[in-house]
């Protein structure tokens, strides 16, 4: 921990391994980290595979580094079932920051454990926060409740779209649009970029009438860096708004409350599983299977027995 | 309920509305339904938007109707944030069964409540089961944990892919491939269909060595019905396998056990949320915000106070 706080990447990596495994050790580490967090600014960036998130993040990191900020990146990778691994191409692109002690990049696979690993992402973010990174970028494809949950822990949420992909494919997950603070139309030199931008603006106009923050829609070409400066400006503008309106504290309070609830839920689940022996469960299943009882009355009974 | 059991669609629709809302009324209805379920065969069908799921389901329904079976379809629609509604085109295509009393189709939006509505899908399936439908088809885009959970309640899971979409876009959700019992390469007249089929077969060969059920890969052109007969055969083959191997009962037992655990979890959560007043939570949030405590030790305290 001491070494991690001094910026030792190997030590940070080892602590991340601790955070990835459920249990007492993780809980202890999180307790240690708790008093040290709250200084970093959290950015969530999401969009379908192929919209150019990683390239955009790469350019944002370059920009923020130019201003002297330390940046941590946590990328949740949906790995291909065929190729097995994460999108190496994207990861490799980030390698130009690999020797920079002011940039920590962690790629986490979401495959196999049904998002199990990626559940640790918010904990890793906290660790990087504690270790003195100024900006923490959480990058996900935004599919799946657990990923939406991760993005929601950010102070500013950036949603990236590209023209020509069809909005139903891009915004596959219900509710993802509603959490965007900034919208980016990347690959804006491609056909349909103007149309997509206008559609987004119309949608925002209708949905955010009278709102204190109206999400801007920005056009970028991440590949050559076009528009990244404007994106950073929009980001800072949103941060300023959050700070001045008191919304930042409100968001963070909400986040903490959710963390507490989530932890309570996890612990209860653990205890219930431990308390319920297999034989007993088998008897209950028999009753349901034979139409003699239903799962809900059984659940009621179990809960009542707990107290 | 009486009218619903006789096949009155209006009555079924009204009961579905009850199932969509959490609370005592739903619990009571589920208790009533419980002894009547277990006769229907549940089919889950999943794949990215645009792979032709609805057309395929439409053709499957036609086929099963031809054999005299009653079929219920529950489609979880990811609605477009721009157009507002569900994919009407797909739904309209199903309208040819609209006047058939042996086909009940229910489209449920997944937007807004972050999958809230779609959580009722397994309950609706049970209702249709109780009402005497022989096959119940659950159709989802397979994004999001809640959707994967729905598909997992099926006896047979069909995963639909199309050539040329890129597997990273199609199988965006981790873990979805692993639950497939039958794979379908739809739009198999398009370029790349052979290649995709071979890739899938290789992936299955590697992963299912020595397994008692090796998922077949079928090519279909849903638009003109090509291969739908083979799909139905594969479906029946899988059902036969499940029945003869005892796997069907095992799956259903597991499903019931999960239902009980889930119901216990929901009830406990409800109680904790009810027990925890806002003021108390605010105090806890203050402590975390000031770095004096961490969410995990607070959660431990709350859980310990329950018993």
Pick A199 or B241 by higher pLDDT. B241
Pick B225 or A112 by higher pLDDT. B225
Structure-token match 């009393």, residue found: B101
Region B35-245: CATH code: 3.40.50.300
Asked whether the beta carbons of residue B268 and residue A148 sit closer than 8 angstroms, the reply is: no
Determine the pLDDT at residue B85.
40
Asked whether the beta carbons of residue B299 and residue A169 sit closer than 8 angstroms, the reply is: no
Give the C-alpha separation, B284 to B86, whole Å.
41
Sheet order of strands, B103-109 included: B103-109, B71-77, B135-140, B41-46, B156-161, B182-185, B217-219
* Interface mutation vs chain A, best among B146, B248, B295, most A CBs within 10 Å: B295
Asked whether the beta carbons of residue B264 and residue A272 sit closer than 8 angstroms, the reply is: yes
Pairing of strands A71-77, A103-109: parallel
Nearest CA to A107 out of A80, A79, A77, A133 is that of: A77
Give the C-alpha separation, B107 to B99, whole Å.
16
Which residues on B lie below 8 Å from A112 (Cβ)? 174-175
The partner residue sitting opposite A296, judged by closest CB among B27, B112, B141, is: B27
Determine the pLDDT at residue B88.
45
Determine the pLDDT at residue A145.
60
Q: Write out residues in chain A with pLDDT < 50, as ranges.
A: 80-90, 111-116, 169, 172-174
Q: What is the ipTM of this complex?
A: 0.72
Question: Which of the residue ranges A109-113, B274-278, B283-287 would you say has the lowest mean pLDDT?
Answer: A109-113
Give the C-alpha separation, A119 to A124, whole Å.
10
Residue B158 pLDDT greater than 90, yes or no: yes
pLDDT band at B82 (very low <50, low <70, confident <90, very high): very low
**pLDDT tens column, A226-253:** 999 999 999 999 999 999 999 999 989 9
Residue B126 pLDDT greater than 70, yes or no: yes
Give the C-alpha separation, B250 to B247, whole Å.
5
Tokens representing A231 are 């994106």
Structure-token match 């790629």, residue found: A107
Which positions ≥6 away from B147 have C-beta within 8 Å?
A: B46, B76, B110, B115, B118, B140, B141, B173
Rg of chain B, C-alpha, whole Å: 22
Residue B233 pLDDT greater than 90, yes or no: yes
Q: Which helix (H) or strand (E) holds A17?
A: helix A9-20
The partner residue sitting opposite A173, judged by closest CB among B143, B260, B282, is: B143
Is residue A228 within 8 Å of A57, Cβ to Cβ?
Answer: no
Strand positions, DSSP E, chain B: 41-46, 71-77, 103-109, 135-140, 156-161, 182-185, 217-219
Is residue A61 within 8 Å of A136, Cβ to Cβ?
Answer: no
Domain ranges across chain A: 37-245, 276-306
Determine the pLDDT at residue B110.
53
Burial pattern B240-253, b for ≥16 Cβ within 10 A else e, equals eebeeeeebeebbb
**Chain B residue with Cα closest to A126:** B294
B34 SS3 class? helix
Give the C-alpha separation, B81 to B97, whole Å.
28
Determine the pLDDT at residue B178.
78
Determine the pLDDT at residue B174.
47
Nearest CA to A175 out of B49, B116, B180 is that of: B116
Give the count of alpha carbons within 13 A of A295, CB side only: 24
Is residue B187 within 8 Å of B163, Cβ to Cβ?
Answer: yes
The partner residue sitting opposite B81, judged by closest CB among A82, A203, A260, is: A203
Give the count of alpha carbons within 13 A of B268, CB side only: 29
Residue B78 pLDDT greater than 70, yes or no: no
**What percent of chain B is predicted at pLDDT more than 90?**
42
Which residues on A lie below 8 Å from B49 (Cβ)? 166, 168-169, 172
Alpha-carbon gap: A110 to the closest alpha carbon of chain B (Å): 6
Pick B10 or B152 by higher pLDDT. B10
> Which is it for the CA torsion A48, A51, A55, A56, positive or negative?
negative
Asked whether the beta carbons of residue A111 and residue B175 sit closer than 8 angstroms, the reply is: yes
Alpha-carbon gap: A175 to the closest alpha carbon of chain B (Å): 5
Nearest CA to B140 out of A143, A5, A95 is that of: A143
Mean pLDDT (whole number) for B133-153: 78
Determine the pLDDT at residue A169.
46
Determine the pLDDT at residue A178.
78
B291 SS3 class? coil
Give the C-alpha separation, B30 to A79, whole Å.
39
Give the C-alpha separation, A31 to A132, whole Å.
17
B65 burial via Cβ count (<10 Å: 0-12, 13-18, 19+): middle
The span from the first CA to the last CA of chain A, in angstroms, equals 39
Which residues on A lie below 8 Å from B271 (Cβ)? 303
Which residues on A lie below 8 Å from B268 (Cβ)? 268, 272, 303, 306
**pLDDT tens column, B3-15:** 999 989 999 999 9
Length of chain B: 307
Which CATH superfamily groups domain A37-245? P-loop containing nucleotide triphosphate hydrolases (3.40.50.300)
Q: Which phi and psi (to 5°) does residue B293 adopt?
A: -140, 170
Mean pLDDT (whole number) for B159-186: 74
Which residues on B lie below 8 Å from A143 (Cβ)? 143-144, 172-173
Determine the pLDDT at residue B144.
57
3-state secondary structure A142-196: CCCHHHHHHHHCCCEEEEEECCCCCHHHHCCCCCCHHHCCEEEECCCCCCCHHHH
């Amino acid at each position: 921990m001491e070494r991690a706080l001094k910026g030792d990447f190997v030590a940070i990596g080892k602590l991340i391994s601790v955070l990835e495994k459920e249990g007492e050790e993780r809980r202890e580490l999180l307790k240690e980290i708790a008093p040290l967090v709250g200084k970093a600014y959290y950015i969530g960036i999401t969009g379908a595979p192929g919209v150019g998130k990683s390239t955009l993040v790469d350019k944002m990191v370059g920009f923020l580094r130019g201003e002297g900020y330390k940046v941590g990146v946590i990328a949740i990778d949906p790995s291909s079932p065929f190729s097995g691994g994460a999108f190496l191409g994207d990861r490799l692109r980030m390698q130009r920051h690999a020797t920079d002690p002011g940039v920590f990049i962690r790629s986490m696979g979401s495959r196999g454990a049904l998002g199990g690993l990626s559940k640790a992402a918010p904990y890793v973010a906290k660790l990087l926060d504690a270790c003195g990174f100024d900006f923490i970028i959480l990058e996900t494809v935004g599919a799946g409740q657990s990923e939406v949950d991760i993005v929601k822990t950010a102070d500013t949420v950036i949603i990236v779209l590209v023209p020509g992909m069809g909005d139903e494919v891009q915004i596959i997950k219900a509710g993802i649009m509603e959490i965007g603070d900034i919208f980016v139309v990347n690959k804006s030199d491609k056909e349909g970029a103007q149309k997509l931008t206008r559609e987004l603006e119309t949608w925002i106009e209708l949905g955010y009438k009278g709102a204190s923050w109206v999400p801007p829609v920005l056009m970028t070409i991440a590949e050559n860096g076009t528009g990244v400066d404007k994106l950073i400006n929009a980001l800072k503008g949103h941060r300023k708004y959050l700070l001045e309106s008191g919304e930042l504290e409100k968001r963070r309070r909400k986040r903490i409350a959710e963390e507490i609830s989530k932890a309570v839920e996890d612990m209860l689940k653990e205890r219930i599983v431990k308390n319920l022996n297999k034989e007993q469960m088998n008897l209950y299943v028999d009753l349901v299977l034979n139409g003699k009882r239903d799962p809900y009355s059984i659940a009621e009974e179990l809960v009542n027995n707990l107290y």
